[in-house]
Structure 1
Amino acid sequence: MEIICWSIIMIMFVIGFVGLIYPIIPSVLFIIGGILLYGLFFSFDPFSGLFWAVQILLVILLFLADYAANLVAVKKFGGSKAGIWGSTIGLIAGPFVIPVLGIVIGPFLGAILAELLFKRQDIVSAAKIGFGSVIGFISSVITKGIIQGFMIAYFFFAVV
């Protein structure tokens, strides 16, 4: 039975990392869910107040990293709020419209279309902003992956 419980916990953690590529999956909820399942299956005793404080801090950092990476990259490449929104919508819709490559093409096209439609940018400027949105997405995935890795490593540190 212990193997089944650990398998479920590990599946939750893996789904959390899949959520980095498919942003419709709430990564952090699966990571926290895996930790809570450990408590339900085994015990909450290894989790001190410090443990929960660190995990909450890391969750806040995840949300900030996600928002900041896209915002900074789009703004750095000359984008507006419309470009940020277009990039975000493209990021969510892209993988469903174009499986596999949609995760990169979606934010790129979303930012371009938003800038063309709402800010009347020329196509070259809009494409530059679209490129910035892809850079923001990639840096966000890397940053969130590192933070999620810390969350899971700290979990294992606490339970071992």
Structure 2
Amino acid sequence: METVFIVIAALFVIAGLIGSFLPILPGTPVTYCGLLILQLTSQPFSTTFMIVWALIVASIMVLDNVIPAYGTKKFGGSAYGVWGSIAGMFLGLFFAPIGIILGPLVGAFLGELVGGKTSDRAFKSAIGSFAGLLVNTLMKVIASGVMGYYFLIHI
């Protein structure tokens, strides 16, 4: 029975790593579920380890929604661009996976145009949103990769 749990946990870790790249699947929570399942077998991790990783995963999930808007603001976007980025991100969920990638970009661009910015300035804000998305993806890949590493050394 323990082998079945380990195989299921490994599938979760693999799916989480893939989900870190693809916006269809929430990568870090799925990878964490793999660690939780492994924990059911032989309890290779301490309680502190599991709590710290739960906090990291929760933080990444929050930042997943904040970073694209922050990128928009950092690249000179106004409140219109930030709100457009947020709206585009949520609307993009309905058109996954490409909508999740393009939603914040298009939303920030359209938000800036509504706010009266020129198309050049609006495009710069949209690029900030996209840069935020790339940073966010890198953060998820690193976190899932580290959890995958701990999984591998404890099986």
Q: Common fold, TM-score beyond 0.5?
A: yes
RMSD: 2.8
1:111 match: 108
Gaps of 5+ in 1: none
Measured after TM superposition, the shift of residue 96 of structure 1 is: 4.5
Q: Which residue in the other structure is 2:150 paired with?
A: 154
CA distance in 1, matches of 2:110, 2:51: 41
Greater Cα offset, 138-147 or 102-111: 102-111
* Residue correspondence of structure 1 range 10-159 to structure 2 within 5 A: 10-23=10-23, 25-40=25-40, 42-44=41-43, 46-63=44-61, 65-66=63-64, 69-94=67-92, 96-97=94-95, 101-117=98-114, 119-157=115-153, 159=154
Kept in 2: contact 1:58–1:151 (CA 8 A): no
Mapped contact 2:32–2:57 kept (Cα < 8 A):
no
SS of the residue aligned with 1:142? helix
| Percent of residue pairs identical | 34
**TM-score, normalized by length of structure 1?**
0.75
* 3-state SS in 1 of match to 2:138: helix
- Relative to structure 1, is the Cα distance of residues 151 and 105 closer, same or farther in structure 2, using a 3 angstrom cutoff? same
Q: CA deviation at 1:110?
A: 1.1
Give the whole-Å Cα distance in 1 for the aligned partners of 2:25 and 2:86: 14
CA deviation digits over 1:80-137, x for unaligned, max 9? 343233223333443653x6544433221111112222x2222221111111111110
Give me the whole-angstrom Cα distance separating, in 2, the residues matched to 1:91 and 1:14. Answer: 25
Distance change (3 Å), C-alpha of 1:8 and 1:89? farther
Query: What is the CA–CA distance in structure 1 between the aligned matches of 2:7 and 2:88, rounded to whole Å?
Result: 33
**Residues 53/101 of structure 1: CA separation in 2 closer, same or farther (3 Å cut):** closer
Task: Give the Cα separation in 1 of the matches to 2:82 and 2:17.
Answer: 24
- Whether contact under 8 Å (2:20, 2:27) holds in the other structure is yes
Query: Which amino acid in structure 1 is aligned with residue 131 of structure 2?
Result: I
Instruction: Note closer, same or farther for the CA distance 1:22–1:87 as it changes in structure 2 (3 Å cut).
Output: farther
Task: Give the direction of change, closer, same or farther, for the CA distance of 1:79–1:54 in structure 2 (3 Å limit).
Answer: same
TM-score (norm 2): 0.77
